[in-house]
């Protein structure tokens, strides 16, 4: 009974303590939010710079106001330095470029679409296709508050493919001499490449092109077949295998017969899009994956000094491939309901 009395006394004290008034909003502190991916396969680089906002009222409503999330571009000096063996206190600068602000269209959402301010490099920026061992330092100087936000990244080296130009992407065994067995047996295609230095995560998108034929018109279309992410395991040589049954199921699920005037449809070709991400990009994506479990707290990853966000690198490359006649014919047999024909 004595223990219960003590427990009730402590509980009543806690409830009384909860009646004390307090301010939800702490004193305002400038927090710069930065997102940028350097990619030497692109002519221009884009950096997104925003500020965290704090105030009374509805947070979603504040997010829809441009002034709540955007700096005045007049107040910011944004530069990217190319350095050799650089650290944030002492750098051997090889060159630098000043970014300028522009406005890009943004899809509707929670945040303001009135002024989607992006900072971009000139088209003659000094990133090259053949990445070197230099570092790139992003510097954001706020002339009004005298505050400097910075981050550092290297580049991912060029991705070298080991795919013969004449190699087709086949998903059915080669057609034997007549009579042709029905149905054709499905096969698979493996693509090979060499690890790109500084890369950690790979993803391939197979863009499959096909042509729709109508009475008085011909329309080219495509679908994107997105492959699972591949994590670098230390091997110099890397590969990925595309399976025939998954290929056919993807066509069946993504292509619809929505036009009653469609006469025929033919498979055209495929283009592989390789994207390589850095170690920091991999970590950032892993930390922000959908979380399952009772405990919803997750670590916060940022590589921005004096701010939050991500400044790192990625590399993109594409490679076209043809479909052999066996795959074209196999698709026309298995997906005749979608009006695929051969030849």
- For the stretch 174-186, pLDDT in tens is 766 566 556 678 9
Contact status, residue 289 vs residue 240, Cβ threshold 8 Å: no
What is the per-residue pLDDT for 69?
A: 84
Give the tens place of pLDDT for each residue, 272-300: 999 999 999 999 999 988 766 666 667 78
**Higher-confidence position of 307 and 18:** 307
Whether pLDDT at 104 is above 60:
yes
* Segments forming the whole domain that contains residue 330: 160-278+315-338
pTM (2 decimals)?
Answer: 0.82
Query: Is residue 124 a part of any domain in this protein?
Result: yes
The chain-wide mean pLDDT, for the chain, equals 83
What is the distance between the alpha carbons of residues 293 and 101, in angstroms, rounded to a whole number?
A: 42
294 Cβ partners below 8 Å, 6+ apart? none
Share of the chain above pLDDT 90, in %: 60
| Domain at 105, CATH number | 2.60.40
Give the tens place of pLDDT for each residue, 55-80: 444 444 444 445 678 999 999 999 99
Indicate whether 251 and 326 sit together in one domain.
yes
Indicate whether 201 and 333 sit together in one domain.
yes
Contact status, residue 33 vs residue 303, Cβ threshold 8 Å: no
Indicate whether 131 and 164 sit together in one domain.
no
Whether pLDDT at 53 is above 60:
no
Query: Is residue 16 a part of any domain in this protein?
Result: no
Indicate whether 149 and 36 sit together in one domain.
yes
Query: Is residue 49 a part of any domain in this protein?
Result: yes
Whether pLDDT at 32 is above 80:
yes
Indicate whether 33 and 121 sit together in one domain.
yes
Give the tens place of pLDDT for each residue, 78-87: 999 988 765 5
Contact status, residue 131 vs residue 64, Cβ threshold 8 Å: no
Q: How many domains does the chain have?
A: 2
Indicate whether 78 and 219 sit together in one domain.
no
């Amino acid at each position: 009974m004595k223990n219960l009395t003590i427990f009730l006394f402590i509980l009543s004290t806690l409830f009384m303590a909860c009646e004390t008034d307090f301010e939800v909003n702490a004193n305002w502190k400038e927090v710069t939010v930065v997102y940028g991916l350097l990619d030497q396969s692109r002519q221009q680089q884009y950096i997104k710079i925003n500020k965290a906002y704090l105030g009374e009222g509805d947070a979603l409503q504040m997010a829809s106001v441009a002034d709540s999330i955007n700096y005045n571009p007049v107040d910011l000096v944004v530069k990217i330095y190319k350095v050799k063996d650089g650290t944030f206190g002492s750098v051997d600068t090889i060159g630098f470029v000043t970014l300028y602000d522009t406005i890009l269209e943004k899809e509707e959402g929670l945040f303001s679409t009135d002024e989607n301010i992006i900072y971009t490099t000139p088209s003659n920026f000094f990133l090259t296709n053949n990445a070197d061992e230099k570092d790139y330092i992003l510097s954001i100087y706020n002339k009004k508050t005298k505050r400097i936000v910075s981050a550092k990244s290297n580049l991912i080296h060029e991705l070298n493919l080991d795919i013969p130009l004449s190699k087709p992407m086949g998903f059915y065994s080669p057609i034997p001499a007549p009579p042709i067995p029905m149905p054709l047996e499905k096969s698979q295609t493996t693509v090979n490449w060499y690890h790109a230095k500084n890369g950690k995560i790979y993803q391939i998108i197979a863009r499959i092109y096909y042509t729709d034929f109508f009475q008085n018109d011909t329309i080219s279309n495509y679908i994107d077949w997105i492959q699972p992410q591949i994590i670098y395991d230390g091997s110099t040589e890397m590969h990925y295998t595309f399976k025939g049954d998954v290929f056919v199921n993807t066509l069946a699920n993504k292509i619809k017969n929505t036009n009653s005037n469609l006469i025929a449809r033919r498979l055209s070709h495929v283009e592989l899009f390789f994207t390589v991400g850095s170690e920091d990009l991999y970590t950032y994506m892993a930390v922000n994956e959908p979380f399952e479990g009772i405990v919803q707290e997750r670590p916060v990853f940022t590589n921005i000094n004096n701010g939050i966000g991500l400044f790192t690198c990625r590399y993109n490359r594409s490679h076209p491939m043809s479909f052999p006649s066996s795959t074209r014919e196999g698709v026309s047999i298995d997906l005749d309901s979608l009006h695929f024909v051969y030849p």
